[in-house]
Amino acid sequence: MKSSKSLAALAVLGLTVAAATPALALENEFHGMFAARYINSNFNGTSTTSFGDGAKYGGDTLYMPEGKPKKVYSANFIEQRARLQYIAKANADLKLVTHFELDYTYWGNSSYGANSAPAGFSGAGRNGGGAIGADTVNFETKSIYLDANVAKNVNMRLGMQPYNDSFKGILFDADMAGIAFSSSYNKFTPSIGYFRFNDTGVQQDRVLGHLTNDLFLLDAKYAVSNELKVGAAYYLFRNNSDTTNSNLLNDISRQDVKMSTLGLNAEYTSGPLTLNGFGVLQAGTVNKRSTTAWALNAGAKYKVGPGTARTEFLYVSGESGTTGHSNAFYSVFNHIGLSEHGYYDNEMAILGRDKNAYTTDNSIIASAGNNAQGQIGGYIGYDLPVTSKLTTAFNAGFAAVAKENANKPTRNTGSKNKSNYLGTEINAEATYQLLEGLSVGTRVAYVVLGDYYKDVASNGTPVNPYDFKLMFKYTF
């Protein structure tokens, strides 16, 4: 008995001493977000997107009205998302960052299961628990990484971390496992990193590190003056993950890719005017097919009256065939074919990927390469603050494919339209700060489809898509 009491006393004493040591003197930070949004749309969650052929491609953001009835049902549902972030900060130079996510793809989707959602839906296998009774496991890990200043002016991030390219996200913008070093020397800020997107070794030849999808990067920015900043980046994509024995339908991430990407970017500010843009050139092989591709962008912001006017232009090269030299632009996809990149500067909700999208994430232009067709887009907008609590924005976009190919839809007569014009979008949004940390917002979007889609439905031209969202968001 005395021995047991002595051991207990020693244990308590040990814990007390350990808690008093500097090693456990952590500064704890908690951050998070809760959001719920109501959607009424004939575009999101209709037979032409997630509930239809999109599921063949992992439920990606594909608009595929070909052969469907021209009029589709309007969906109305509520999505819910919560994000929780915990940061364990040892000191000013070292911290552990963790980020978690809990989603209901929509209220009423499922309950009493593990990561469940209806088969064939883009949320299949996750984001359940939205039906009565709840009790569903849907806890997702977004990122876990170490953030450390390992030397003077040198920062290291190690682990699963958010990372995006220097070209407005057209190549990659996602959470990814790897190691990245960044530094700052007066006006010069270089970065170097390595990331592993996918490893199919266990499934294929049981050798980890053999059949992988990797990224190596070099990035640098230089402040020429207070007004002018320039940058350059080199990305090497090496995808050697298995392409022959995939157990996933249309697994476009499993390709034989050796692609070098070199890009330049710049930003110039003078008074109320800001100009920015980039140029990207790619050279390499995809599935042993020689590829040269490019992308060009120009953007501007100008303070006009009480608000700010915006404009964006983006060109991405495409290809016309499947043989010979290719001009198809290469961007990052995950192992189930979902695009892990997005061009959100155009502020589109249907024509391009919506910045407000959660699990339901559909758009006419789903990826930078746009089914190897490329894209040509021009976008304008105006941000107007009304009061200290109310802000509004108005946008319009115009887009076409750069090069038509076999992915162009066929008319119900069996021929293809001559036009490559995808459509014109207009949208408007308003956000009101209801309480500290809590906002309520709405966004309405409408697209007039171009002749690219003329008569591709089974009984004529698809109806023009619309999308309405009412959103509540709490951040802390």
Give me the mean pLDDT over the 425-439 stretch: 98
Q: What is the pLDDT of residue 240?
A: 87
pLDDT at 8: 43
Q: What are phi and psi of 389, to 5 degrees?
A: -110, -20
pTM reported for the whole predicted model: 0.89
Q: For residues 4 and 395, what is the distance between their CA atoms, to the nearest angstrom?
A: 73
For 235-273, what is each residue's pLDDT tens digit? Answer: 999 998 865 544 433 444 557 899 999 999 999 999 999
Q: Report in angstroms the alpha-carbon separations of 80 from 33, 83, 128.
A: 11, 10, 11
CA gap 317, 331 in Å, rounded: 12
**Six-digit token string for 332:** 């990052």
> Quick check: 212 and 240 in contact, CB under 8 A?
yes
| Spans of all domains in the chain | 37-78+152-475
- The pLDDT, as a whole number, for residue 241 is 82
Residue partners of 381: CB distance under 8 A and separation at least 6: 309, 310, 311, 347, 393, 394, 395, 396
Averaged pLDDT score across all residues of the chain: 88
Rounded CA separation 345/21 (Å): 48
134 φ, ψ to 5°?
Answer: 50, -120
Question: Does position 12 have pLDDT exceeding 80, yes or no?
Answer: no
pLDDT at 21 over 50: no
| CATH T-level topology, domain 37-78+152-475 | Porin (2.40.160)
Q: Do residues 327 and 318 touch, judged by C-beta distance below 8 A?
A: yes
Answer yes or no: is pLDDT of 127 > 90.
Answer: no
Torsion-angle region of 294 (φ positive above 0: left; ψ -120 to 50: alpha; else: beta) = beta
Helices within 175-266 (DSSP H only): 201-204
Classify residue 207 as left (phi > 0), alpha (psi -120 to 50) or beta.
beta
Contact between 127 and 107 under an 8 Å Cβ cutoff? The reply is no
* Distance, C-alpha 13 to centroid of its chain: 50
